[in-house]
Amino acid sequence: MAKHNQRLDYARLAEVLHEREIADAGSIRELLHHSKTGGTPFAVALVTSNLVGDWDLSRIVCETFNLPFLPVEIAPPDPEAAEGLDLGFLRENDLVPIGRFGQTLTVCMPGLVPADILGMLAAETDLVILPVVGTVQSNQRWMRANYAEEGTERALPVDASWSAMFDDADAAVLMDLSDVVSAEESAGEGIEFQLTDPEDDSSGLVDFTDDSDGSGATSSKSAGGGVDLPPLPEFG
């Protein structure tokens, strides 16, 4: 694995974004200042503000700092990697521990985490921190699903899918419709639906009955019973 040759720093990332004309200088400067004063971390703000695409940001970080791209979808984190770590610190920075190898801890960054933050983690754990690049959204989903704070809503489980959500919603709607139909059938028992207009006198002009001669032919009579109309033609 190649060693990164530049200090992991938001300012350097901002310079590269400006040099490549990916975002305007004003927006970059504003997000960077907000991050330095305790706001949303710069890398996260770039994605959530739609200034830079999530995958584009990861690619630029890999190219700029010579780091490997290893998101949680490709390298599922080892549950034991987080033992003894400050989960609050990990949640605050969206850092996902991938695995431990002796005194080395591999962590997946949400795009980029500054060297100062990684240094704090190293000092607290007495471990050598090996950062790899992930994406902002995948890190945040994984953190919510696995390290959610007590009382906060957890994200969808890993094996959940949009289709399952829609299936559950469809089932709920069908149950509601079934209840409504049952209620209407009970309330309207004995009621027949009529397609003709009750005020239209023409609806009763023709009466289809069997002919009295027993031939099986069908004749038509007027509603008033006066004039018999010619029998209907038979086919076949």
Considering the domain boundaries, does residue 81 fall inside one? yes
Determine the pLDDT at residue 55. Answer: 96
Query: Residue 222 above 70 pLDDT?
Result: no
Burial class (CB in 10 A: 0-12, 13-18, 19+), 145: middle
Is 210 within the bounds of a domain?
Answer: no
Query: Does residue 48 lie in a domain region?
Result: yes
The answer to whether 10 and 114 are in contact (CB under 8 A) is yes
Least Cα distance to 32 among 14, 50, 56, 9 occurs for: 14
Residue 186 within any structural domain of the chain: no
Cα atoms in the 13 Å half-sphere on the side-chain side of 10 = 21
Give the model confidence (pLDDT) of 122-164 as tens digits: 999 999 999 999 999 999 999 999 988 754 443 333 333 333 4
Contact 116, 89 (CB under 8 A): no
Residue 17 lies in a domain: yes
Please tell me the distance from the alpha carbon of residue 10 to that of residue 113, in angstroms, as a whole number: 8
Q: Is 45 inside any structural domain? A: yes
Q: What percent of the chain has pLDDT over 70?
A: 61
CA–CA separation, 190 and 158 (whole Å): 52
Q: Which residues constitute the domain of residue 51?
A: 10-146
Top-ranked range on mean pLDDT: pick from 77-91, 162-176, 209-223 = 77-91
- Per the structure, the count of domains in the chain is 1
- 214 or 115, higher pLDDT: 115
Whole-number Å distance between alpha carbons of 61 and 52: 12
Q: Do residues 4 and 66 make contact, with C-beta atoms less than 8 angstroms apart?
A: yes
The encoded tokens of residue 11 equal 């300012």
Whether 46 maps to a domain, the answer reads yes
One DSSP character per residue, 74-120 reads TSPPPGGGGTTS-HHHHHHHT-EEEEEETTEEEEEEES---HHHHHH
pLDDT at 218: 44
For residues 198 and 49, the model is more confident at: 49
State the CATH number of the domain containing residue 87: 3.30.300.160
Strand partners, 134: 110
Beta carbons within 8 Å of 55's beta carbon, 6+ residues apart: 135
- Would you say residue 161 lies in a domain? no
